Amino acid sequence: MRADLRLIACTVILGTPLSAQDTPDSAISWLSDSLSTPRTAPRRDEPAATPLTGTQVTVMPLGQTRRDAVGLLSSRLTGLPSDTFAGVDPRRVADLIANLPPDALPAMQDLVLMLMLAELDPPRAAADPDTLFFARVDGLLRFGALDQAQALLERAGATDPQAFRRWWDTSLLTGFDTRACDAMTANPGVAPTLPARIFCLTRSGDWAAAALTLDTGRALGIISKQEDALLAQFLDPEMFENLPPPMAPRPITPLAFRLLDGIGETPSTAGLPLAFAVADLRPTTGWKSQIEAAERLTRARALDVNRLLALYTEGRPSASGGVWDRAAAIQKLDTALIAGDMAGVADALPQAFTRMQDAGLLVPFADLYGERLSHIALDAPAAALALRVGLLSPAYETIAASATATMPRDAFALAIAQGNFDVPPPPDPLSQAINDGLTGTPPDHLTRLAESERLGEALLEAVSLLADGADSDPQDIADALAFFRSVGLLDVARRMALQLLLT
């Protein structure tokens, strides 16, 4: 019987194409290595893109849908023209996506996520028709938007090794590993690695075959010492009961994370790529870890802010400092708002505002409370804070229409919110750059890209100009805002301007 099982294990290993045993570009190494180290950004004096020639056009059979064209948001929902990426070089766009800042302004991040999810015409010039698709998926995963990436992969089809490997990693972190293993069992040729197949044998309850596959992998020399130690302890934890836990591999992979979690040695996600934070949203994770993970993902706009609010208000903070102070401040403000206690709101707002601002969560805070605060009559200084929060919320235009300001900065912000760009800006470089952007002419090179069916490329370049937020070069701020306004993205330009000014 043991010999028969060993033969089965050899068949599982050797029956898989060699390409599946190698290490192709995939989310396994990607999540912790290649995309956690940004590529060198292009210099300002570099050409905007590589010129396209007719020899780069890829011929495809009529009626065949390219994955580059797959999306979750229609042009009707995004407002983007269908030819947004039609004229781009996909490799250039992939480089721009890979270099996007992980801590961009929320309005920029919202725009980027929309571009990643948009259903648009594929690039006409593409040596690899999947280049843009995988760049978009990788961008979503790097920002922790795993649900969106998983949905995009499933809609496009994850039946080849490159797509399946990303879908597999995503499934491990979102808790759908059983479904991923079922898919691998049905199509073993797409299995990412031998350890993945061993893991799936355990998920199906075939621990004996898993152990023999591991033993055969050792004999064939295709299991590393780190993988061996981790899998062996996962398969038989009692044998290692009095021994120290295995070392986590560097970089850690979603599978290694899942194996360590299975033996009770779940790694902290604090120092790991953002995608791993999704695993901490499980109800089995401690409350503090859930809040910290939700905060990271909310900053990247990958998580609905109401999920963060639910975690903040889930229980009574058991300590002070950090997340506990934020949870206590939010609970105090939320309770006062629900009770209609204006004095309580005025008392709670300054602390909640400061806590969330210090954590880089002021815009999500405004998403939650900006409009609600605008309906409450507050005395200064709480009224000034409520106005600031309101102008950072989605209802900024409505709130600005009935508000008054006493400070020059607030008056300038109100004018931006109402689309009145004739109000003189305060005498500081940031305000002047914002004013120049909202009233000036966009840079020629971005305009030329937009007019050449390369709007998506131009938008990503404009986003890159604001990589340092309010610390960006004033000319870059002006150029980016002017371009967004010139292509009809006035709401994006105004939201970015308000966030630059008020956060």
pLDDT digits (tens, 9 = 90+) for 102-118: 789 999 999 999 999 99
Distance CA 425, CA 408 (A): 8
Write down how long the chain is.
503
Mean pLDDT of the chain, nearest integer: 86
Residue 418 C-beta-side C-alpha neighbours within 13 Å:
15
Predicted pLDDT at 190:
81
Instruction: List Cβ neighbours of 132 (8 Å cut-off, separation of 6 or more).
Output: 68, 85, 88, 90, 93, 94, 122, 123, 126
8-state DSSP, 73: B
Distance CA 119, CA 68 (A): 9
Distance CA 128, CA 68 (A): 10
Q: Decide if 199 contacts 259 (C-beta within 8 A).
A: yes
- The alpha helices in 43-127, defined as continuous H runs, are 75-78, 90-98, 106-117
CA geometry: angle 62, 66, 68, nearest 5 deg? 145
- Residue 58's φ and ψ, nearest 5 degrees, are -95, 130
pLDDT digits (tens, 9 = 90+) for 490-500: 999 999 999 99
Distance CA 104, CA 391 (A): 19
The DSSP secondary structure of 267-303, one letter per residue, reads PPSTTS-GGGGGGGGSTTS-HHHHHHHHHHHHHTT-S
pLDDT digits (tens, 9 = 90+) for 133-174: 999 999 999 999 999 999 999 999 888 888 898 999 999 999
Instruction: List Cβ neighbours of 114 (8 Å cut-off, separation of 6 or more).
Output: 73, 78, 80
Instruction: Kindly report whether the global pTM for this prediction surpasses the value 0.85.
Output: yes
Distance CA 141, CA 273 (A): 9
Domain ranges of the chain: 2-42+67-240
Distance CA 67, CA 60 (A): 12
CA geometry: angle 188, 193, 194, nearest 5 deg? 85
pLDDT digits (tens, 9 = 90+) for 196-238: 999 999 998 999 999 999 999 999 998 888 889 999 999 998 8
Predicted pLDDT at 43:
39
Distance CA 196, CA 148 (A): 23
Distance CA 275, CA 284 (A): 18
Range ranked top by mean pLDDT from 57-71, 165-179, 401-415, 460-474: 460-474
Distance CA 177, CA 34 (A): 24
